[in-house]
Amino acid sequence: MINKKKIERLIYELLEAIGENPLREGLKETPHRVAKMYKEIFAGMEENPKEHVKMFNESGQGNELILVKDIPFYSMCEHHLLPFFGTIHIAYIPSRGRIIGLSKIVRIVNCYTKQLQIQERMTREIADFIFSDLETSGAAVFVEAEHLCMTMRGVKSPGAKTKTYSLKGLLSSDQKKKEELYSLL
């Protein structure tokens, strides 16, 4: 559970620890603002992606590939507590004509992005969920992200993107399906 009171107290102390005066005009409300914001950006902690599973039958849908491109996302790097953000592409092959609504896919993605993450694990977790919990015949997840911990500190490589992907089922084993996917991307 996200403890807003505790976050407020700790942000107050953090401000002191970096040598700031938490009571000065511009900072007075900051602990409260940050606590409120954390509740929102870590909302995935309090959500179960299984609650968003609502499949429906589309009789005409065989085993054609479905691709949802350019889903924007924002997450937080668990090593530095700084944002990483970018786009996610999700592809899957329905099983027995069962498909999932687009808005549900976005909600599932949010469950995994809105928490402390590393990009590689997040990519794999989303792919596992689409493949196993949605009982699809194949799933693929591509993530392209900029990490502020890389671009605003350390090696400082502005605009550098990290790409990760995870392939499951037929989208990993069936060469023809894979080629179809890459031509769509």
Active site residues: 77-80, 119, 147, 149
Of the two residues 79 and 96, which places its CB atom closer to Zn ion in the complex?
A: 79
Least separation in angstroms between CB 84 and Zn ion: 7
Of the two residues 15 and 145, which places its CB atom closer to Zn ion in the complex?
A: 145
> Residue 76 corresponds to which amino acid?
M
Binding site for Zn ion (CB under 5 A): 77, 79-80, 149
Eight-state DSSP code of residue 95: B
Least separation in angstroms between CB 147 and Zn ion: 6
Of the two residues 146 and 180, which places its CB atom closer to Zn ion in the complex?
A: 146
What whole-number distance in Å separates Cα of residue 126 and Cα of residue 69?
14
End-to-end CA distance of the chain: 38
Of the two residues 33 and 79, which places its CB atom closer to Zn ion in the complex?
A: 79
Closest residue to Zn ion, judged by C-beta, is 149
Look up tokens 């329905």; give the residue. 94
What whole-number distance in Å separates Cα of residue 50 and Cα of residue 117?
19
Continuous segment of H or E residues that includes residue 113: helix 102-113
What whole-number distance in Å separates Cα of residue 165 and Cα of residue 78?
19
Closest residue by Cα to residue 111 from 71, 149, 148:
71
